[in-house]
Amino acid sequence: MRKQKGFSLIELLIVVAIILIIAAIAIPNLMRARMAANDSSAAASERSIVTAEIGYSAAYPTIGFAATLANLGGASPCVPGTSTGCLLDNLLASASAGAGKSGYFFNATPSAGVGTINNMFYTVGYPQSAQTGTKSFCAFEDGVIRQAASGTTAVVASETACEGLLPIAN
């Protein structure tokens, strides 16, 4: 009588099938968790942009809010100035369309009120695709971060549209 060594083909197929079933259950949960993390990161990034805009406006009162998102950052070693505020991480400062951070694009747009001083701004963060985030975020000079309804991944079109959204629950 011969002693059998190793596993039979049936045993190996059963193990592979079990692994595939476990993977099919785990991968969607992993993707949902990743999208939730990207959403949280985007909300925090919007908060950082608002804080940087307010700091920029205080540092350069004759200019007001920054002309572009890039003006809030600066490559390391950063030297503060009107075109490199050094108030925001440069990865986030360059996260406009074409680049991105944590699956989101960001943009900040100033607007002049009286005279040439940018006394208003509007910032938005929106997912790069439906697989990287579940909602868009926005804020303006009042400093309140607002969010679009879950599943709304389009860019919030204007400051007026942003005003109509609900604030995030902090």
Q: What is the mean pLDDT of each run of 10 residues along the chain (170 residues)?
A: 77 94 90 92 93 93 89 87 88 76 89 76 90 91 90 84 85
Residue 1 half-sphere exposure toward CB, CA atoms < 13 A: 1
What is the pLDDT, as a whole number, of residue 78?
86
Domain residue ranges of the chain, discontinuous segments joined by +: 9-167
pLDDT at 144: 92
pLDDT of residue 158: 86
DSSP string for residues in 45-71:
HHHHHHHHHHHHHHH-TTTBS-SSGGG
**In the sheet that 137-140 helps form, which strands lie side by side, from edge to edge?**
104-111, 120-127, 137-140, 146-147, 166-167
Q: Is residue 112 left, alpha or beta, with left meaning phi > 0 and alpha meaning psi from -120 to 50?
A: beta
